[in-house]
Chain A
Amino acid sequence: MNAINRKEQNTLARAVLEIDVNNHPGVMSHVVGLFSRRAYNVEGILCLPVGDGKQSRIWLLVIEDQRLPQMMKQVEKLEDVIALRRHTAEHAVFQDLESFFRP
């Protein structure tokens, strides 16, 4: 996954994951560690606290491959994950940020 070039990447199907988590210093590491140990690249990450700050919401942009359903199950098993929702790549959350990521 990590070896493919930008052009190839753009042709791959993507998915957006929306993850509600308990907000504490280790939670991001728990979530992204599940991806890194499987050499499953995370294309985009956004995270901000929600409401009173006891919870955060993590948005992940990932390439959709056959491992994604297993990845989602593993994420759902984490103690600090409260909910996981899957969206298509057309979800607005990352698209609205494109102006910040021009080369």
Chain B
Amino acid sequence: MTETLTGAQIAVRLLERQGIRIVTGYPGGAILPIYDALGQSTAIRHVLARHEQGAGFVAQGMARATGQVAVCMASSGPGATNLLTAVADAKLDSIPLVAITGQVPKAMIGTDAFQEVDTYGLSIPITKHNFLVSSAEELLTVIPRAFAIAASGRPGPVLIDIPKDVQSQAIEIAEWPEPGRAEAVPAADPALIARCAALINAAERPVLYLGGGVIHAGAAGTAIELAEKASLPTVMTLMALGAMPVDHALALGMLGMHAARYTNLALEECDLLIAVGARFDDRATGKVAAFCPQAKIVHIDIDPAELGKIKAAHIGIVADVGEALDQLLPAVGANARTAWIDRCRALKTEFPLAMHGAADPRSHFGLIRSVAACLDDEATVATDVGQHQMWVAQAYPLRRPRQWLTSGGLGTMGFGVPAAIGAALAEPQRTVVCFTGDGSILMNIQELVTAAEENVNLKIVLMDNSALGLVHQQQTLFYGERLFASQFKARPDFIKVAQGLGIAAVDLDLAANPCATLVEAITRPGPCLIHVSIDSEEKVYPMVPPGAANRDMIGA
């Protein structure tokens, strides 16, 4: 039986067939046929953001919380350009996203038509792949393919640009394609796994270095098993936090620019670094030539281009890290490695992370610890970008993969609130906390309206120092204390702003009993903004100065 459908109806049907139940976006002229079809769908709920970038990050929040491909939409021209920051962010953190943009009709492409921009050209370097669709027929292959590409191998964003006339074009459909799914990856080379196991077995001071790929692969459990069997002290990148619980005996926390001293010092001494789903980012390695100077390197990654990109590996293995770890686990010998474990414990005792003020809920560390104390591991923690992000990475007891949503590679201010909304929409049973700063929240403040409209269970903890903290910090430390453009003179009344945009707000500055106020705000269902003033002189310490070796940490 055939049916006659428009390109727009086909697109929506294909999304339904992919299992998509929430789509987020912002309509406009060139995508109206798809919105018309979407309005008729009973399977898909559309969540209206208040800015296309917000829509992109809402979708990212859904994808990061669940690991499933999420979908966002925008119109042509400014709609598409506004979406691009969220797409670029997804590219750098390997988040599976399908972004659908409307485009002016085919006959008008290249004429500088109203709201025309070269979305295809603009999105080439910030997507895993992109399509400009030239017929309704083509949608039948492009949409499933886009989902397959987004989810396969190293995940990433795929953009589909659909001209308005293609959306309106009606064709007969006799048969539907299979939904696009992640394609299987060839197994790791057993000979390389054996060599890797031999290196681990022979190592005296190995360190396991987990990256975001471990989260994407769902391999955190296997990574912990490996660490426990072979007694491997374990460091995590910003993207991998939650892979191993921070309070695990083998956990050495986050490495790199804002690591605890003991973490970077352990890496300094290690004789074997086992990098799993990590890409030797400059914020993690510091000066590369001085990173793990004594270590042989094993690098396991699903993306062949990551092997040898920054640091040559003695053994490079291209594989799904979960599958590779499954092979590696029986091949490594149990080993108590007492001397090295004791040495790491001694480093931890001698060079701990100084968390001053942790008992005061109105200090930065105390606030983070107090919020954590109100919640269990089922809660999801999102952040924006800045000092607050690093403090949360240092101080929040993350214990679960996908518990932690943060913009790592691109470091996008404005990520937090919409991504947290996405996480809350995807997993409504969880409480979602978003730590943000007064700089970051203003970059997507309009999404508080979306939070109110959707009544998501989201608690926004606003750490307000009336400054761009990391800029302030770098100007203080490295630019002769010449503070410029990093202190806000006008301070918004964030309580009134939140209330004006439709969500509840409390000010811990004014609370007689801040702990009680915090508990009440967090346990009350629905969205709430919690405002706390933070001293702008506070720094994120320790810190590896940009370009320095990780051993050369300053402060605390």
Contacts and interface: CB of A to CB of B under 8 A. Distances in A.
A70 B309 contact: yes
A33 B305 CA distance: 16
B249 to A, nearest CB: 38
A89 to B, nearest CB: 23
B130 A26 contact: yes
Interface residues of B, number: 14
A25 B309 CA distance: 30
Nearest to B304: A73
B121 interface: yes
Contacts of B309: 70, 73
B125 A79 contact: no
B303 A69 contact: no
Contacts of B129: 78-79
A69 B128 CA distance: 20
B305 A79 contact: no
Contacts of A9: none
A26 B132 contact: yes
B305 A70 contact: yes
Contacts of B130: 26
Interface size of A as a range:
10 to 19
A26 B308 CA distance: 29
B124 interface: yes
B308 A29 contact: no
Nearest to A70: B309
A73 B120 contact: no
A76 B130 CA distance: 16
B305 A30 contact: no
B124 A30 contact: yes
A33 B124 contact: yes
Interface string A42-68: 000000000000000000000000000
A8 B130 CA distance: 38
Interface of B: 120-121, 124-125, 128-130, 132, 149, 303-305, 308-309
18 contacts: A25-B132, A26-B120, A26-B130, A33-B124, A33-B125, A37-B125, A73-B304, A73-B305, A73-B309, A74-B305, A76-B304, A76-B305, A77-B303, A77-B304, A77-B305, A79-B128, A79-B129, A79-B149
